[in-house]
């Protein structure tokens, strides 16, 4: 049986998180919300959605321009969908970072 390299597993986790965020955004606000988030991430952070896996703090710049209620719904939905994978250290770290963004925007 072939073993996957750690880097490959990490790419799979990054893809899982990216797809989960995309799905949450589409579920909440359709393609308009997804496109707005992608545009703001690029304009404000010079990054793309997959980059947020390693840098969830980039969402701070997005949510200054998008309704806080929408932001909170997205975070809650992402946390719900990724909850079963939270035992994996990198996904847990992402979820903690995302929660910290939520706390900062509320405060």
5-20 per-position pLDDT tens digit: 877 999 999 999 999 9
CB atoms closer than 10 angstroms to residue 16: 16
Angstrom distance (rounded) from CA 78 to CA 55: 15
Q: Which tokens is 16 given?
A: 């899982």
Does domain 6-106 match CATH 3.20.20.100?
no
pLDDT in tens, 18-45: 999 999 999 999 999 999 999 999 999 9
């Amino acid at each position: 049986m072939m073993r996957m390299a750690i880097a490959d597993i990490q790419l799979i986790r990054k893809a899982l998180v990216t797809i989960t965020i995309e799905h949450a955004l589409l579920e909440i606000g359709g393609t308009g919300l997804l496109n707005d988030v992608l545009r703001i991430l690029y304009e404000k952070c010079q990054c793309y959605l997959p980059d947020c896996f390693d840098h969830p703090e980039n969402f701070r710049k997005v949510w200054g321009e998008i309704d806080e209620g929408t932001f909170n719904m997205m975070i809650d939905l992402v946390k719900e969908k990724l909850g079963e994978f939270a035992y994996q250290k990198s996904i847990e770290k992402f979820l903690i970072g995302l929660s910290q963004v939520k706390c900062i925007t509320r405060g």
